[in-house]
Amino acid sequence: MTVLEIIERLLIAVAISGAIGFDREFKNRPAGIRTHILVCVGATVVALMQDQISIDALNIATNQPELAGVVRSDQARLIAQVISGIGFLGAGTIIVTKRSVMGLTTAASLWTVACLGIATGMGYYQIAIAGFITIQLTLSLLKKIIIMPSMKKLEVKYVHRVETKEFITDYFAENHVEVKDVNFDVDLVDERRIYTNLYTIELPRGKNFADLIEDLSIHENVMKIRLVDV
């Protein structure tokens, strides 16, 4: 393997992983351009090493036939360690709270750029480029093409139960917000009752959660609104 081939493969790894990392950084995700590039380049280096080991083993067996039965080269050994080992880095991007899980897509993108790095390092350019295009389309366009239900949990903390609950219910009805489920909680603070409703809601097309939160927060009895993923 020549130095030019090594540089070529590393540059391809930087280009495709940088583009995927840009999407993650643009969306303010935990792992950005540099992290994706480093993961992909690292995987490429491992694949280059494995490829070179195989080439060296073949050369030894060719030049010294008496050693052909002794020399062994397992092309999957180092690569398998990359595939399994990258999991610890992906796990570091996943944030788990009581009500939501974030970072799964970024963890998956880190794993996939490692796979792209392996394909690039082994010289399978067609696989690497096809995989890159598929990943980019998945990250950038799939969410726009497939319209998923906008279902979230909305936590509303308020006082004066009757009038505030009526205001919220009327707002949902007027704006065609579908309530899938609701949980209630009451706290007594300084001899004042504070109510907390946790609504599981689905918005109609054309309505966004930012507008909903702004509209509900206008009411004087609403103390706090918090939106979490289902």
pLDDT at 170: 92
List the single range of 17-21, 64-68, 122-126, 217-221 with lowest mean pLDDT. Answer: 64-68
pLDDT at 157: 92
Q: 200 lies in which domain range?
A: 151-229
> Region 7-15: what's the mean pLDDT?
89
Number of alpha carbons in the 13 Å side-chain half-sphere of residue 33: 6
Same domain, 20 and 128: yes
What percentage of residues in the chain have a pLDDT greater than 90?
Answer: 7
Same domain, 198 and 94: no
Same domain, 99 and 202: no
Q: Bridge partners of 152?
A: 201, 229
More confident residue, 183 or 23: 183
Same domain, 119 and 46: yes
pLDDT at 102: 67
Tens of pLDDT, residue by residue over 16-74, are 888 888 887 777 776 778 888 888 888 888 888 888 777 777 777 677 776 666 566 66
What Å distances lie between residue 118 and 5, 17, 18, 23, 83, CA to CA? Answer: 15, 12, 15, 21, 9
Please list the alpha-helical segments (H only) found in the chain.
Answer: 3-26, 33-63, 77-85, 87-91, 104-121, 125-140, 142-145, 161-174, 209-217
pLDDT at 213: 87
pLDDT at 148: 58
Cβ contacts of 208-213, under 8 Å, gap ≥ 24: 209/150, 209/152, 209/154, 212/154, 212/175, 212/177, 213/154
127-150 exposure pattern, b = at least 16 Cβ within 10 A, e = fewer: ebeebbeebeebbeeeeeeeeeee
Of 96, 125, 145, the residue that ends a domain is: 145
- The answer for 16, left when phi > 0, alpha when psi is -120 to 50, beta otherwise, is alpha
Say whether pLDDT at 90 is over 70: no
State how beta strands 101-102 and 192-202 pair: unpaired
Of 145, 173, 191, the residue that ends a domain is: 145
Dihedral Cα 82, 83, 89, 90, nearest 10 deg: 160
Same domain, 31 and 61: yes
Tens of pLDDT, residue by residue over 136-179, are 888 877 666 665 556 788 899 999 888 998 999 999 999 888 88
Q: Is the pTM of this model over 0.75?
A: no
Same domain, 53 and 141: yes
> Region 120-125: what's the mean pLDDT?
87
Split into its structural domains, the chain has a count of: 2
Which pLDDT band, with edges at 50, 70 and 90, does 105 fall under?
confident
pLDDT at 70: 59
